[in-house]
Chains A and B, each alone.
Chain A
Amino acid sequence: EPEVTQTPSHQVTQMGQEVILRCVPISNHLYFYWYRQILGQKVEFLVSFYNNEISEKSEIFDDQFSVERPDGSNFTLKIRSTKLEDSAMYFCASIEDPWSSYEQYFGPGTRLTVT
Chain B
Amino acid sequence: AQSVAQPEDQVNVAEGNPLTVKCTYSVSGNPYLFWYVQYPNRGLQFLLKYITGDNLVKGSYGFEAEFNKSQTSFHLKKPSALVSDSALYFCAVRDDNYGQNFVFGPGTRLSVLP
- A interface residues, Cβ below 8 angstroms from B: 4, 31, 33, 35, 40-45, 48, 50, 55-56, 91, 93, 95, 98, 102-109
Contact = CB atoms under 8 A, between A and B. Distances in A.
Contact of B49 (A103, A106, A108): A103
Given A41-B106, A48-B101, A55-B100, 15 more contacts: A33-B102, A40-B88, A42-B104, A42-B105, A42-B106, A43-B90, A45-B101, A45-B102, A56-B100, A91-B43, A91-B44, A102-B51, A105-B46, A106-B36, A108-B43
Interface residues of B, number: 24
Contacts of A104: 34, 44, 46, 102
A107 B43 CA distance: 6
A91 to B, nearest CB: 6
A56 B99 contact: yes
B22 interface: no
Q: Chain B contact residues: over half helix, strand or loop, or mixed?
A: strand
Contact of B43 (A40, A56, A106): A106
26 contacts: A33-B102, A40-B38, A40-B88, A40-B107, A41-B107, A42-B104, A42-B105, A42-B107, A43-B44, A43-B104, A44-B104, A45-B103, A45-B104, A50-B100, A55-B101, A56-B99, A98-B100, A102-B32, A102-B49, A103-B34, A104-B46, A104-B102, A106-B36, A106-B46, A108-B42, A109-B42
